[in-house]
Amino acid sequence: MFDVNVHEIYHDAKNKGKKEYNRLKSKGLSGHLSSLDGILKDIEIVGTAYLGTYEIPLKKVVGTYYHSRRMTFSKSFLPLESEHSEFGSKWSALCKAHLTEGIRDPIKVYEYMNFYYVVEGNKRVSVLKYYDAVNVRAEITRLIPKFDSEDDNIVLYYAFMGFFKVTKIINIWLSKPYRYKRLLNYLENYNPETKDENTKYEFFLKEVYMPFRRIYLDGGGEELPITTGDAFLLYARLYGISDVLDKEHVKTIMPNLIKECSRYGEQDEPEILTTTGDMDRVAFFDAISSFIAPKNIKVGFVYARTIERSGWTYSHELGRQYIESTFGDRITTGYIEEVPEDASAYDTIKDFAAEGYDVVFTTSEVYRKATLKCAMEMPKVKFFNCSGNRPYVHMTNYFGRTYEPRFLTGIIAGALTKTGIVGYAATDPNPEVISCINAFAQGMKMTNPDSKLLVTWTGEWNNPKVTTDLCQEMINRGADLISNKNLMVPRDVTLKYGVYSMLCDIDPVTQKAKNYLASPIWKWGRFYEKIISSILNGSYQRMISSDSDGQKLINFWWGMESGVIDLYAAEDKLPPDTMKLIKLMKRLIITDQFHPFAGPIMDRDGEIRVFEDEVLSAEAILTMDWYVDNVEIVD
């Protein structure tokens, strides 16, 4: 049926195998196939499990089980024996069968650490690999290594086995253990309407994951330093998992998704810009370059609450007004209020951005996902999200080092508390909030080493009743000062800064806030002025560009030295010596002579987190997930 000479094909396959063998040998490496019995020589296997028959990717079939078989193949399963040998004759016969009717019988393999080693069917694998086949059917027996919490590879493998136990999906490999749990959470809510007899996981694999995989690999995903599973998880985080994959939509967004995935690996950590001087240096070089900057731009602001009802929104509105007056006719600004804090935010933000905006600032972390989706689909618009999280290729993050003024308010709290107990109402335990709690607690210890900070979670940003009820519980536990409580603060302070939270002391009789003592304050106008100026002079565009790999990941994370974040203190209500200490510590922080997270610092479990003469890095603060030893979480 096919006019082919299988002996010539074998001759070609053997020559390629010889070349590969010689190339590896010349580098001092083994040119033969790997064998599992050699790999397992010093490995403790605690169990085996027969998984059944699955279609597996040939690229994951990396060796044979028996050491004796490895000598007849090159490293990538190409034959090395003479074409006149029995081996050569059988290989040629299998080649002919593949070309005429296909290789149908499944091979038998051992799976170890998500790779496959052939027990029966080595020559079938060799033929299929020669023809660059993608998959092969295989009967799989799993070899389970002993768990070792110190071995990252084994921890990851056990997470993979846990995922398989629930889903029976063998095709998805993720690069981090926690990502399996995240994917399972998505799949818990995946309930497709189908009459298919297969399980929902089989349906998901067939109708969602595998079509995504084909589009991703066709778009160049195989060249990226992450797994296809990692890429799908990023997609699912943004768009969820529909019953059946919308292939046309995925094809549309795939080029930009691949750009994001290219920066998804650990080796591509964001560049954290901690001073405004970073931008000034780039601006200087742009001034002497031929880079063409825009003459004027339209800038939009997305607010979660109304300007009248929310101190947080009002503080950003003050920033918008400031840049409008500062830049004059070089910019046009606009804003939208009460944007939904759910999935519908995406449509609202996208419609707003489509009104001709060149730059859009979304002023709440709750819009992080919606902002990224818009940014990927509207690459000509520069999107910024106000949060301390990891930025993306299409979306820059901006925030302030709020832990610095929180440290100063902690000093005040420690100095003024009579009970030694201070309450702290916080939204939820994300790294930015945790770093503020810990800095506050560190400040308390500076003036009151035996003080204790009670922390309770509100679960939301702007519900005064919830906050008041939780603060009352902390008052009942002995707290005589409360921090981060949403309050109607003195109007002159609100009008000037847009203050949204305060440290206040409690009247022992009424058990209500008596004096508003201190609060971190934002000067968003200065923040926005720096960013807009960098866009107008071209330094932002140069900053995010990369000569080799595309756009950089940028996180603007400025502190008190930049003037974008500060401390409001009611000097008439604070002891003079306390104010003197606050002013001194503020000056030391601004001039980088003191750091709130300078060691030694011990956590609640007695573990030293920061050693003496050490200071926590920016990366460690931005990913903080532990509490200092004088913090107590109130359930």
Q: What is the pLDDT of residue 130?
A: 95
Decide: residue 577, CB within 10 A, 0-12 exposed, 13-18 middle, 19+ buried: exposed
pLDDT in tens, 312-323: 898 899 999 999
pLDDT in tens, 147-162: 999 999 999 999 999 9
Q: What percent of the chain has pLDDT over 70?
A: 88
pLDDT in tens, 464-475: 556 667 778 888
Q: What is the pLDDT of residue 269?
A: 56
Q: What is the pLDDT of residue 48?
A: 95
Instruction: Name the band, by pLDDT with cuts 50, 70 and 90, for residue 511.
Output: low
Q: What is the pLDDT of residue 506?
A: 76
pTM: 0.77
pLDDT in tens, 379-388: 899 999 998 7
The CA dihedral of 252, 255, 257, 259, to the nearest 10 degrees, is -160
Q: What percent of the chain has pLDDT over 90?
A: 66
Q: What is the pLDDT of residue 556?
A: 87
Instruction: Name the band, by pLDDT with cuts 50, 70 and 90, for residue 485.
Output: low
Q: What is the pLDDT of residue 267?
A: 43
Is the pLDDT confidence value at 547 over 60?
Answer: no
Is the pLDDT confidence value at 284 over 50?
Answer: no
String of DSSP letters for 177-206? HHHHHHHHHHHHT-------SS-HHHHHII
- The more confidently predicted of residues 589 and 497 is 589
Q: What are 370-377's contacts with CB under 8 Å, separation 24+?
A: 370/343, 370/345, 370/346, 371/395, 372/238, 372/260, 373/238, 373/239, 373/346, 374/346, 374/349, 374/350, 376/238, 376/253, 376/256, 376/257, 376/260, 377/253, 377/256, 377/350
- Rounded to an integer, the average pLDDT of 501-524 is 78
| Range from 10-14, 30-34, 278-282, 379-383 carrying the lowest mean pLDDT | 278-282
- Rounded to an integer, the average pLDDT of 51-75 is 93
Q: What is the pLDDT of residue 286?
A: 46
Contacting residues for 492 by C-beta, under 8 A, at least 6 apart: none
Q: What is the pLDDT of residue 285?
A: 46
Alpha carbons 632 and 456: distance in angstroms, whole number:
9
pLDDT in tens, 100-119: 988 889 999 999 999 999 99
pLDDT in tens, 350-378: 999 999 999 999 999 899 999 999 999 99
